[in-house]
Amino acid sequence: MTFDIPPNITNAEPPLSLPCSEAEWRAPDPESWFLLHTSATAPPTPTFHNALQGLFSPDDHNIGIRYSHFGSFIMINAICSQLWARLKLRSAEPNIELTSIEFALDQWQRAWNADPDSSMSPTSPHGPLSFNASALYRMANIRIFRDYSRVKASFRMHDIARINQVMAEDVSGTGWERSQDMMRAIMPATLQLQIPIKMGIKLVARTAALIWSVEHVLCATETGTTFSIFSDSGLLLCDWLRTIENDPPGTVLGPEEQKALNLVKELLSEADISIRDGERLSAATLKVWAGTFDDVWVWGSIFLFIFDTNSSHPPLGQKFAAICARDPRN
């Protein structure tokens, strides 16, 4: 989903069972493994297909559904794969609904929340898989409402001018309407700014690569990193702020929208980001995102992102900030 490339393995292929728990995998001997495997607290290991069908089944709300951390990571990848396929079909059939994807995401979230070992910390003693899975969960929520695959696909060209053009067209705050339903994606994107600002943007930029995964670099979720301005969260937040800036004077926001907007302003103030006279909030927010790029190298995957977006690299970062600062109505 990062570069809008079809998945190598489809959901129809893996005829396997979901992985066992991490404790079973680390068992030092057969006896220990058997005790863990037969324990009442051991997560079940259904087949992949049965587990996927359960997530999408509205007839059975799957109360008490559980997976191992690795199994949970596999299932959120499967939902993302299903979502990617639906989004591609929409190019020919625009009326295709995504309600079943929303239902599956809600099912998955309940299972994640019900697991006492799930953690939003990359240094959890139970491993980072539940943390990494949360990145994909929030990315999927964003893709339900806004598809930035054209922006992601432009990366493959390594053409700064082309990326700049696509960004100007697809992250303009025009051509779509805000809704209360999409606050399930907006709030995580907004809260995402909180972690690097609370910890210190430079500290996060220079140390997060040691503990945060490539999933968080590319998805940039609620409590993960905000390295990539081209992440779904970054694109959505900037796009959403632009729609507010484009509203006619006197437009009243909903309570959840106002809460998210106030949080962005508070966080920018806490980060000592001053908004100059005439500067748009979306442009100021972009500066914070770009600031998290310095010195970050995760699996070598964000070199292009740094080259393109960091405020110290003007080819695109400054150009897009200027685009954000313009009023598209003029």
DSSP codes, 72-123? HHHHHHHHHHHHHHHHHHTTT-TT---HHHHHHHHHHHHHHHH-TT--S-TT
Residue 35 has what pLDDT? 93
Residue 100 has what pLDDT? 92
Residue 48 has what pLDDT? 92
Residue 153 has what pLDDT? 74
Residue 211 has what pLDDT? 58
Task: Give φ, ψ of 17 to 5 degrees.
Answer: -85, 155
Cα distance between residue 122 and residue 16, in whole Å: 28
122: Cα separation from own chain's centroid? 16
Burial of 256: CB neighbours in 10 Å, binned 0-12, 13-18, 19+: middle
Residue 304 has what pLDDT? 43
- Kindly report, residue by residue over 182-212, the tens digit of the pLDDT: 898 888 788 767 766 766 666 665 555 555 5
Could you tell me which of 163, 133, 181 has the C-alpha nearest to residue 307? 163
Cα distance between residue 118 and residue 49, in whole Å: 23
Cα distance between residue 226 and residue 133, in whole Å: 16
Residue 113 has what pLDDT? 85
Tokens 């990359």 belong to which residue? 122
Q: At what angle do helices 129-145 and 232-246 cross, to 10 degrees?
A: 40
Cα–Cα distance list, 49 to 11, 17, 100 (Å): 8, 8, 16
Taking 50 as the pLDDT cut, the residues of the chain under it are 220-230, 296-317, 327-330
Residue 102 has what pLDDT? 92
Cα–Cα distance list, 105 to 9, 16, 300 (Å): 20, 22, 30
Residue 223 has what pLDDT? 28
